[in-house]
Amino acid sequence: MALRIANLLGPRLLNEPLVALTVSRSHDQFVRHRHTKHWNPKWKTLRRQKVMRVKLPNFQEKPEDLSEEEIRSRLKEQGILPPRPWNEKPFFLSCTGGIFEAYVPPEGDGKISPIQVQGAKQKLQYLEKKSRTMMAIRKIKSFEEEFDTATFCKEAEDIYVKMHDLMAKRDLENMTDYVTERAYPEVIHNIENKTIHWKLIKNIELPRVVHARCTDVITKENIFGQTTVRFHTQQMLAVYDRFGRLMHGSEIIAKDVLEYVVFEKHLANLYGKWRVHGKIIPDWLPPKEPSLITYLKPTEETSTTETAVTKTSPDTEQEIPKESNT
């Protein structure tokens, strides 16, 4: 019986190696044993751990068909916060919109000696206003323990020089590291279509802090600090237009410059830094000479004769022929 079955299944068994065929004589059932499977049952746990079961969401269900409790449970399973009924647009205040409690420079500063009567009055007024400045400096020190006016003046001078160097190089990408967003448009407007040559030669007087104020924006903890530094320096400035013609200043002649530069810092921000926020121009300062405005040179039409009209009286006019020089 076994030989007859083996003859019938002979070709089929040749294609299945490593298979043992056992025939039970009582019920004539075939039992196959695969020798490639490990017999030890302790590997069942490891084989089961190789497969991870993932619970897929039901893509057929719609939010309209679910109740509020079902939607809440679905969001809780996925770890998603429920949507809010209102929309909030986050914004970040990196600087203030202007100069608060601007410093009023004394008239004739830089030219009047403190020995004179008017100079002595200026010193007295400065001492009267110094109390609020000291309170603001104390507030700044509560955020910066190592803040010192002498050290800060050196840092302010470096920021001042670096800002003007970037203006001369037209490096707008790194400008915001030294200029606030409020002063940035003014800086861009001043260097548009111009070539600037600038150099700081020396300090006539050492820079000093003459004014300091602190204010809070929106909340009491969001504090900004502003300090006004007086710079009395000797500089060289030459501004050329887009055609290469000199508009203002000179590269040979150096001039004395007295400026009051306002620096601002977001004190509540851990990564805030001092940047140029603006300049204070006193009212008593005489107006500066306007820069030369240049235009494209128009094309001249050559002609043999020109007629010039001169008015001898309000009622009569006389025409005088004039030969052209061309």
Low-confidence residues of the chain: pLDDT under 70:
1-39, 110-128, 294-296, 302-326
Q: What is the pLDDT of residue 15?
A: 47
Structure tokens that stand for 103 in this block:
């410093």
Q: For 170-302, where are the alpha helices, taking DSSP H only?
A: 184-190
What would the pLDDT profile of 245-289 be if each residue is shown by its tens digit? Answer: 888 888 999 999 999 999 999 999 888 999 999 999 888 777 777
Q: What is the pLDDT of residue 38?
A: 62
Are the C-beta atoms of 274 and 282 separated by less than 8 Å? no
For the chain, list the domains and their CATH numbers. Answer: 1-81 (no CATH), 117-280 (3.10.450.240)
pTM for the structure as a whole = 0.61
Are the C-beta atoms of 272 and 225 separated by less than 8 Å? no
What would the pLDDT profile of 33-46 be if each residue is shown by its tens digit? Answer: 666 666 677 778 88
Q: What is the per-residue DSSP string for 78-144?
A: HT-PPPPSS--------S-SS-SS---PPTTTTTS-TTSHHHHHHHHHHHHHHHHHHHHHHHHHHH-
- Among candidate residues 236, 281, 289, the one with its CA nearest the CA of residue 258: 281
- 37 DSSP 8-state letter: S
- 293 DSSP 8-state letter: P
- CA–CA gap between residue 254 and residue 202 (Å, rounded): 10
Q: What is the pLDDT of residue 52?
A: 85
Residues 6+ apart with CB under 8 A from 36: 18
- CA–CA gap between residue 13 and residue 244 (Å, rounded): 97
Structure tokens that stand for 27 in this block:
């019920």
Q: For the chain, where are the alpha helices, taking DSSP H only?
A: 2-8, 10-14, 44-49, 68-78, 117-143, 149-169, 184-190
- CA–CA gap between residue 230 and residue 208 (Å, rounded): 6
Q: What is the pLDDT of residue 287?
A: 79
